[in-house]
């Protein structure tokens, strides 16, 4: 497994002390909303309630991208909640990695490509992993949020 496009140094997003939650969704137009409600239910009322809005926005964008740009049958959401931060990973069965933020061209008329810029702005770190050792090969786009991280950046 390799990681790319990390915007800030961090440990592997999949190795945190804390609680892990997983949700598998069919690749439908409703998937982004269901993932948004899933993440909201995990974080509301927790020590991470201050990042609920950012988490909702980011997971919606990443799941919507998986729905819109892949033909995967399942979208898998993994949420790792530690005392310090929350990492959300969205996996699909399409083996490519996300473009680097600097490679995304946006302008007033461009309708696509802004979701990853949201990750760049809101997340403490984000990136993509590619796993070609499994069948089917898949990729995961992940992001890490932490309370007060944007204010400190």
- Residues 150 and 153: their CA atoms lie apart, in Å, by 5
Residue 139 has pLDDT above 50, yes or no: yes
Nearest to 116 by CA among 136, 101, 131: 101
Most confident of 3-7, 57-61, 102-106, 110-114: 57-61
Which is more confidently placed, 112 or 1?
112
State the CATH class of domain 2-101+113-152: alpha beta
Confidence at residue 13, expressed as pLDDT on a 0 to 100 scale: 54
Once rounded to an integer, what is the mean pLDDT over residues 79-100? 82
Which is more confidently placed, 119 or 88?
88
Confidence at residue 2, expressed as pLDDT on a 0 to 100 scale: 27
Least confident of 3-7, 48-52, 67-71: 3-7
3-class SS shares of the chain: helix, strand, coil, % to 5: 35, 25, 40
Q: What is the mean pLDDT of the chain?
A: 79
What percent of the chain lies above the pLDDT cut of 90?
A: 50
Confidence at residue 98, expressed as pLDDT on a 0 to 100 scale: 53
Which ranges of the chain does DSSP label H, i.e. alpha helix?
A: 31-43, 52-69, 114-122, 149-152
What percent of the chain lies above the pLDDT cut of 70?
A: 68
Q: Find all residues with CB under 8 Å of 128, minimum gap 6, and list them.
A: 3, 4, 5, 97, 98, 139, 140, 141, 142
Strand partners, 81: 19, 86
- Residues 122 and 61: their CA atoms lie apart, in Å, by 12
Task: Note the pLDDT tens digit of each residue in 90-108.
Answer: 999 876 655 554 445 555 5
For the chain, give every domain's residue range.
2-101+113-152
Confidence at residue 128, expressed as pLDDT on a 0 to 100 scale: 84
Give the pairing type, strands 86-92 and 138-145.
antiparallel
- Residues 143 and 14: their CA atoms lie apart, in Å, by 11
């Amino acid at each position: 497994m390799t990681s790319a496009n990390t915007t800030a140094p961090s440990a592997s997003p999949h190795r945190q002390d804390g609680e892990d939650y997983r949700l598998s969704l069919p690749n439908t137009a409703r998937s982004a909303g269901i993932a948004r409600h899933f993440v909201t239910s995990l974080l509301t009322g927790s020590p991470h309630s201050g990042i609920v809005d950012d988490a909702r926005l980011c997971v919606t964008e990443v799941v919507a991208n998986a729905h819109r740009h892949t033909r995967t049958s399942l979208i898998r959401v993994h949420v790792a909640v530690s005392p310090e931060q929350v990492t959300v990973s969205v996996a699909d069965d399409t083996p490519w990695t996300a473009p680097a933020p600097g490679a995304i061209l946006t302008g007033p008329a461009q309708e696509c490509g802004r979701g990853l810029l949201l990750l760049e702005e809101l997340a403490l770190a984000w990136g993509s992993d590619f796993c070609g050792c499994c069948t089917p090969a898949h990729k995961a786009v992940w992001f890490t949020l932490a309370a007060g991280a944007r204010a400190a950046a």
